[in-house]
């Protein structure tokens, strides 16, 4: 399943590159190798409610950033390898494996591109391939704490047609394939198609209507489901801020006979800002912020766990003396489970951290981040508290952007 999607991604991506080949006379390039080293200590690495274990993580991440732009096309790529080494700072309980048994080499590859095929037609694709033990990569409304190793592959082609100066129509496809290395959890493949009609109210404001239909296919037929979403969105930007909002209805039907279907209203509200609003090459914003409220179902149910999530996320940042970037990041999520092996489970999860980054020069950045995550569940077994501190040293070298 994963291999087939990787092959499709590579084929489509190189076809996309061929569309831009004739425009190379006016290209602009970005080639930037990098390496990041990080050392982190978690007080409760496995997020256990009763047996906390302090574990350190050493990560070495070499990578390369690539960019290419012409008058009508743009391609961006960022690829990194992640070599992860764990070490127990507490005694390992009898009958439990040491954390260094989970050492692994992962990767993270992001590719995006777009091109104007004709005056009215723009098309593009985004791809994301990951090998990781981080459960947060599976779902943006994550509430999982397992450390399973898995591959995840996302593929997102899209096309947009401008019908008139104010009206456009678009079609997009999103696929997500998850392949576990060794687990009792089933591999899965999510296919979702979406259609949109856009109307530009003004230069700064656009409204769209959307309809999406999806199919989740697990290795076990008992877990499969289909879904439909109907919604409306609005995006508006003015000076330093960009506002977004949307509302709709989400229906989810399970294939297994006797399983109750799920449905919920879904919505989101966000405000993002930065100063200055337009950045020149290499410039960093002096101040930035993001506040988002969101409600929807999670897509991927680890152990068939599905819930409605209500999440608020806040990011605040400021650049001091052109050298020190201070960033606060936090979220609160309420997870109301509708599919699980016990009933009436509700979790309240709180996360926050403060990160200070010091730009030593154009090539080196030193950073320290500290924070905590806490979950309060209606079942004590799922409670946990984890505090962490992390140190990072990043090197990146621009080989000569043009």
**CATH code, domain carrying 68:** 2.40.160
- Inter-residue contact 34 to 62 (CB < 8 Å): yes
260 closest CA partner among 342, 340, 339, 337: 339
d(C-alpha 338, C-alpha 343), whole Å = 8
**233 in a structural domain:** yes
145 closest CA partner among 354, 358, 335, 363: 335
Tens of pLDDT, residues 41-58: 999 999 999 889 999 999
**62 in a structural domain:** yes
**401 in a structural domain:** no
Which pLDDT does position 26 carry in this prediction?
58
- Inter-residue contact 225 to 213 (CB < 8 Å): no
pTM of this structure? 0.87
Which pLDDT does position 25 carry in this prediction?
47
How many domains are contained in the chain? 1
**187 in a structural domain:** yes
**79 in a structural domain:** yes
**Positions of the chain with pLDDT under 50:** 1-3, 14, 21-25
Place of tokens 């994550």: 142
**170 in a structural domain:** yes
Residue 286 structural domain: 2-396
d(C-alpha 330, C-alpha 389), whole Å = 15
Q: Residue 15's CB: how many other CB atoms inside 10 A?
A: 10
d(C-alpha 110, C-alpha 324), whole Å = 27
Which pLDDT does position 252 carry in this prediction?
92
Angstrom CA distances, 95 to 20, 44, 50, 98, 381, stand at 58, 18, 16, 10, 20
Determine the distance from the C-alpha atom of residue 244 to the mean position of all C-alpha atoms in its chain, rounded to a whole number.
18
**287 in a structural domain:** yes
**402 in a structural domain:** no
Chain length of the chain = 402
Which pLDDT does position 223 carry in this prediction?
77
């Amino acid at each position: 399943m994963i291999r087939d999607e990787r092959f499709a991604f590579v084929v489509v991506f190189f076809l996309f590159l061929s569309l831009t080949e004739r425009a190379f006379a006016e290209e602009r390039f970005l080639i930037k190798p990098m390496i990041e080293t990080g050392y982190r200590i978690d007080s409760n690495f496995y997020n256990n409610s009763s047996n906390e274990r302090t574990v350190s993580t050493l990560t070495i991440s070499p990578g390369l950033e690539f960019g290419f732009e012409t008058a009508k096309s743009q391609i961006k790529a960022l690829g990194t390898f992640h070599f992860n080494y764990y070490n127990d700072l507490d005694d390992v309980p009898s009958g439990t494996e040491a954390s260094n048994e989970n050492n692994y080499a992962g990767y993270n590859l992001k590719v995006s591109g777009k091109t104007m095929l004709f005056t009215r037609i723009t098309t593009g694709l985004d791809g994301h391939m990951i090998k990781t033990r981080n459960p947060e990569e599976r779902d943006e409304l994550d509430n999982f704490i397992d450390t399973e190793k898995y591959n995840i592959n996302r593929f997102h082609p899209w096309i947009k047609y401008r019908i008139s100066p104010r009206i456009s129509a678009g079609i997009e496809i999103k696929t997500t394939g998850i392949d576990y290395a060794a687990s009792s959890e089933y591999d899965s493949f999510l296919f979702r198609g979406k259609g949109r009609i856009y109307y530009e109210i003004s230069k700064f404001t656009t409204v769209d209507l959307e309809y999406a239909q999806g199919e989740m296919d697990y290795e076990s037929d008992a877990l499969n489901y289909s879904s439909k979403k109907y919604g409306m969105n609005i995006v508006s930007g003015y000076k330093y801020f960009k506002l977004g909002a949307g509302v709709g209805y989400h229906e989810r039907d399970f294939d297994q006979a006797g399983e109750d279907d799920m449905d919920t209203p879904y919505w989101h509200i966000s405000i993002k800002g930065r100063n200055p609003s337009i950045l020149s090459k290499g410039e960093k914003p002096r101040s930035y912020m993001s506040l988002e409220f969101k409600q929807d179902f999670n897509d991927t149910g680890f152990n068939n766990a599905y819930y409605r999530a209500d999440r608020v996320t806040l990011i605040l940042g400021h650049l001091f003396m052109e050298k020190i970037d201070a960033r606060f990041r936090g979220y609160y999520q309420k997870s109301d489970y509708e599919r699980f092996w016990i009933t009436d489970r509700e979790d309240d999860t709180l996360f926050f951290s403060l990160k200070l980054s010091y730009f030593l020069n154009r090539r080196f950045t030193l950073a320290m981040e500290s924070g905590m995550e806490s979950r309060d569940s209606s079942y004590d077994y799922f409670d946990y508290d984890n505090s962490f501190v992390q140190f990072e040293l990043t090197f990146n070298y621009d080989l000569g952007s043009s």
